[in-house]
Homo-oligomer: A and B are copies of this chain.
Amino acid sequence: MTPLDERKRSILKAVVDDYIETAEPIGSKQLVSRHALAVSPATVRNEMSDLEQLGYLEQPHTSAGRVPSDKGYREYVDSLMSVDPLSPEEETLIRERLDVHFDELGEALRSASSVLSATTGYTSVAMTPRLRTSQLKQIKMLMIEPGRAVVVVVLAAGIVKDRVVRIPELLDAATLAKVSAAVEEGLSGMKLEDITLIAVTAAGRRAKLPEALLNQILYEAYISIKQADSMSVYMDGTNRMLGYPEFQEIRKARGFLDALHEEGLIAGYLAEDNPDGEDTDGHRRPYMIRIGQEISLGGLDGCSFVTTTCRDAGTLLGSIGVIGPKRMDYSKVVSHIGFVRRTLDEGMRNLMDGNRNTEETR
């Protein structure tokens, strides 16, 4: 476990860089000429052979070039690659396409995902967080017609969800409003995770209605509140992936797309993003990178997954990520996802601040 010497490091970096670009196994001769190295192919061969021994490179078959192993990529992203900041043009381009939809969390994340996918050329995902610890701010039940109502739940985080429900036919609008007000008064300010059916019932009972009528409404209110806690996943650029050589075989492509649509899989990975930006191997940075085997499941095994989270003063507001072939341009992805995250953070901070003070950051 001695660290790699400088020359091995630079050769490994060169191999990964080239492989990222060409997707072809890299040979010693080619490497020397492309990078104008000061050593001969034979030397490079020896070094590459060492790197293979150490587990950083692999050979598809004897007498082919070398390809980075998962460990090789890991070393690359952890200590070899250079992450350049975006150019001002790129920054303004992204900002323009992003700051349209800052009024609603879901919209903001959706467009973040779309921008990320477009600018990196890979598949991108975004997810609203679970909001267990967020406070309920308002709950309104509006009559649509006899027997049906819409329940609107507003959370402190500024999230709004609605849901159409059945209610007893003989309930009129005024009564419903009274129940709605009672529930809101009783629950407003509570954390979602603390709201139980009992709490809802207790709050609603103040409206002084026959139990029979009440129960159904309160139950629906309860469900609506619980449902506001559900997360949504957005995805973009899924079929951009079909353009990359690693997905030329339809089987691979199918496996990848199926995995993406698999219920909860992506959400699971996004949710696991460590709050402290602690990486699997103990490194510490504002994003998390999973490579190949590290996302072991199903069709994603030829892929890597870069994720990060948006926060406002500690509370999680959303997760975004980019999925690409293991051979993705990590440097580009990291800089782009970082910038999108910061822009999003900023936009949301303004949004959230809007609550307390009037007109400031503008």
Q: Which residues of A contact B (CB under 8 A)?
A: 103-104, 137-138, 140, 142, 144-148, 150, 152, 154, 158, 160, 162-166, 169-170, 238-239, 242-243, 247-250, 253-254, 257-258, 261, 354-355, 358-359
In this complex, the member of A164, A249, A257 whose beta carbon has the largest number of chain B beta carbons within 10 angstroms is: A164
Determine if B164 and A158 form an interchain contact, defined as CB atoms under 8 angstroms apart: yes
Query: With a CB–CB cut-off of 8 A, which chain B residues contact A152?
Result: 142, 150, 152, 162
A358 CB contact (under 8 Å) in B142, B146, B249, B254 = B146
Complex CA–CA separation, A147 to B350 (angstroms) = 12
Nearest-CB residue, chain B, relative to A159: B164
Query: With a CB–CB cut-off of 8 A, which chain B residues contact A165?
Result: 103
Contact (A138, B146) CB under 8 Å given A242-B257, A250-B242, A250-B253: no
In this complex, the member of A104, A158, A239, A261 whose beta carbon has the largest number of chain B beta carbons within 10 angstroms is: A239
A160 CB contact (under 8 Å) in B162, B239, B261 = B162
Complex CA–CA separation, A139 to B250 (angstroms) = 49
Query: With a CB–CB cut-off of 8 A, which chain B residues contact A160?
Result: 144, 150, 162, 164
A170 CB contact (under 8 Å) in B137, B170, B250, B358 = B358
Nearest-CB residue, chain B, relative to A249: B250
Query: With a CB–CB cut-off of 8 A, which chain B residues contact A250?
Result: 242, 247-250, 253
Query: With a CB–CB cut-off of 8 A, which chain B residues contact A253?
Result: 242, 250, 253
Determine if B158 and A358 form an interchain contact, defined as CB atoms under 8 angstroms apart: no
Complex CA–CA separation, A215 to B154 (angstroms) = 25
Query: With a CB–CB cut-off of 8 A, which chain B residues contact A257?
Result: 238-239, 242
- 28 A-B contact pairs sorted by A residue (CB < 8 Å): A103-B148, A103-B165, A104-B163, A137-B145, A138-B142, A140-B140, A142-B152, A142-B154, A145-B158, A145-B354, A146-B354, A146-B355, A148-B158, A150-B152, A150-B160, A152-B162, A162-B162, A169-B354, A169-B359, A170-B358, A238-B257, A239-B258, A242-B253, A242-B254, A243-B254, A248-B250, A250-B253, A253-B253
